[in-house]
């Protein structure tokens, strides 16, 4: 059995079982940037309806760039990490003004676009032959290689194992394999490439994210949602959200530093609100 046999087995499995996401049927870089931004640290089941609503409201970067921050945040509510929405709007303005960069390096210059998102958009929209290295890549390739990969070793293995001319399907296949079969607790009996796996026990999971309930993320999200109804002071926000006024004050101060909200006298308001 050769590495080429593994490629064939993996892609045959993928073509038979691929999850039918609508963004897999487009090469529109805007549609792809939106979904990659939304899906950062967010379950794909929550992303799909938001992506569809977003693409209906803002089908082009120019449409998003012409919207106010308040309008963008209203549509984003429910996804969390609201800075992503503001950065996506900023990226849309750059693209509307200057056009699309078509390389990984060029895409990384857009606000909020990191290495994974740049690689994913470059590969799917512009055919750049580059691996899209995420948690799924890390887990699968570590098991294939028989050693826990990270950093440069993960990058080197991803590029070495990337089959020539097949980057888009390869990346999507690894994504689906990691999401459905090669899980943290792997289903090796269902794996189409188990004969090529050196050690399914080799995997060092990332540190788990803290609980959402009672977290700073929860406070920020609920405070921002309340402010979308109109300006309010800390006391009113605390009453509306049920959170301690000190935590509400910390939340609005932090969001103010990030450009999400701004002072309005003694009250706070979403940036760009009417």
What is the residue extent of each domain of the chain?
3-126, 216-270
Q: Annotated active-site positions, please?
A: 36
Token pair of 239 as six digits: 């009453």
Q: Is the predicted pLDDT of residue 236 greater than 90, yes or no?
A: no
Rounded to the nearest integer, the mean pLDDT of the chain is 91
Residue 205 has a pLDDT of 67
- Cα–Cα dist 158/153, whole Å: 9
250 — pLDDT class (breaks 50, 70, 90): confident
The total of other beta-carbon atoms located within 10 Å of residue 116's CB is 16
Instruction: List the alpha helices (DSSP H) in the chain.
Output: 3-17, 29-38, 44-57, 61-65, 69-76, 83-98, 104-108, 115-126, 135-145, 151-161, 167-180, 216-227, 234-241, 245-257
Q: Is the predicted pLDDT of residue 208 greater than 70, yes or no?
A: no
What pLDDT, in 10s, does the model give residues 48-79?
999 999 999 999 999 999 999 989 999 998 88
Residue 268 has a pLDDT of 87
Query: Is the Cα torsion angle 18, 20, 26, 32 positive or negative in sign?
Result: negative
Is this model's pTM higher than 0.75 or not? yes
Residue 1 has a pLDDT of 61
Third-level CATH fold of 216-270:
Arc Repressor Mutant, subunit A (1.10.10)
Average pLDDT over every residue of 197-206: 83
Third-level CATH fold of 3-126:
Endonuclease III; domain 1 (1.10.340)
In the chain, the percentage of residues whose pLDDT exceeds 70 is 94
- Cα–Cα dist 28/10, whole Å: 26
What pLDDT, in 10s, does the model give residues 4-49?
899 999 999 999 999 999 999 999 999 999 999 999 888 888 899 9
């Amino acid at each position: 059995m050769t590495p080429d046999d593994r490629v064939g087995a993996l892609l045959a499995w993928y073509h038979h079982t691929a999850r039918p996401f609508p963004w897999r049927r487009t090469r529109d870089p805007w549609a792809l940037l939106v979904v990659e931004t939304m899906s950062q640290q967010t379950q794909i089941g929550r992303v799909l309806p938001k992506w569809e609503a977003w693409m209906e409201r803002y089908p082009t970067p120019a449409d998003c760039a012409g919207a106010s921050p308040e309008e963008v945040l209203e549509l984003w509510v429910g996804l969390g990490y609201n800075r992503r929405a503001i950065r996506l709007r900023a990226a849309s303005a750059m693209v509307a003004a200057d056009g699309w960069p078509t390389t990984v390096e060029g895409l990384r210059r857009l606000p909020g676009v990191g290495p994974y998102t740049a690689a994913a958009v470059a590969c799917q929209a512009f055919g750049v032959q580059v691996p899209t290295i995420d948690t799924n890549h890390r887990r699968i390739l570590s098991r294939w290689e028989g050693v826990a990969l990270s950093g440069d070793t993960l990058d080197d293995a991803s590029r070495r194992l990337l089959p020539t001319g097949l980057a888009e399907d390869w990346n999507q296949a690894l994504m689906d394999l990691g999401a459905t079969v090669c899980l943290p607790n792997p289903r090796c009996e269902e794996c189409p490439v188990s004969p090529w796996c050196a050690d399914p026990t080799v995997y060092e999971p990332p540190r788990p994210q803290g609980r959402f309930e009672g977290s700073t993320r929860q406070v920020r999200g609920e405070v921002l949602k309340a402010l979308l109804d109109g300006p309010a002071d800390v006391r009113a926000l605390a009453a509306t959200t049920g959170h301690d006024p000190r935590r509400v004050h910390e939340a609005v101060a932090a969001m103010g530093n990030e450009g999400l909200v701004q002072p309005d006298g003694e009250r706070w308001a979403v940036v760009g609100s009417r």
